[in-house]
């Protein structure tokens, strides 16, 4: 019943359990139930190229791998790092917007829009001074932000109200 979406307090009453703890003792969540709930909580996630990524896409077949990549992923101010915290330290400090492990969703659109404006300002300064490395890095970040914002805005307009 719990894996079919029946609330635990209903199951408790149906089975005649005196406490939620007793119902909880017998309730066993299936891995698919956990995956479905996670996806519903986060909605659609996009990578740095604006490609919509389903949580199940990010792993091979093992449920443990899925857990590491999705539940144990590190939260960031503008999204999530798909590199599990348990795996190793990030080799790309402050390069999230160019990293293949980065994921984000529509709740971070305001941060992405602000960062795009800031990046465009940095790019203008770098181009004025002809700083080749800063131009290269900021163009890549700008392109990725534009792709993510476009994908998230498209998803927002198609979301049910």
Residue ranges of the chain whose pLDDT lies below 50: 56-61
How are strands ordered across the β-sheet holding 73-76?
Answer: 73-76, 79-84, 102-103
How many Cβ atoms sit within 10 Å of the Cβ of residue 67?
A: 17
Contact 1, 11 (CB under 8 A): yes
Q: What angle do CA 79, 114, 129 make, to 5 degrees?
A: 115
Contacting residues for 27 by C-beta, under 8 A, at least 6 apart? 2, 8, 11
Residues 28-45 have pLDDT tens digits of 777 677 767 766 666 677
Residues 66-89 have pLDDT tens digits of 555 555 566 677 777 776 555 566
Contacting residues for 82 by C-beta, under 8 A, at least 6 apart? 58, 69, 70, 73, 101, 102, 103
């Amino acid at each position: 019943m719990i894996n079919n979406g029946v609330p635990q307090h209903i199951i408790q009453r149906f089975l005649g359990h005196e406490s939620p703890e007793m119902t909880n003792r017998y309730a066993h969540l299936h891995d698919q139930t956990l995956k479905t709930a996670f996806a519903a909580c986060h909605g659609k996630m996009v990578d740095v190229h604006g490609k919509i990524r389903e949580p199940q896409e990010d792993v091979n077949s093992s449920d443990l791998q899925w857990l590491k990549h999705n539940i144990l992923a590190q939260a960031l101010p503008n999204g999530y790092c798909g590199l599990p915290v348990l795996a190793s330290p990030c080799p790309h400090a402050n390069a999230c917007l160019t990293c293949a492990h980065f994921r984000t969703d529509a709740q971070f659109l305001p941060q992405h829009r602000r960062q795009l404006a800031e990046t465009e300002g940095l790019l203008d300064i770098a181009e004025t001074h002809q700083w080749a490395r800063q131009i290269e890095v900021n163009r890549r970040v700008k392109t990725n932000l534009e792709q993510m914002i476009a994908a998230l805005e498209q998803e927002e307009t198609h979301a049910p109200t």
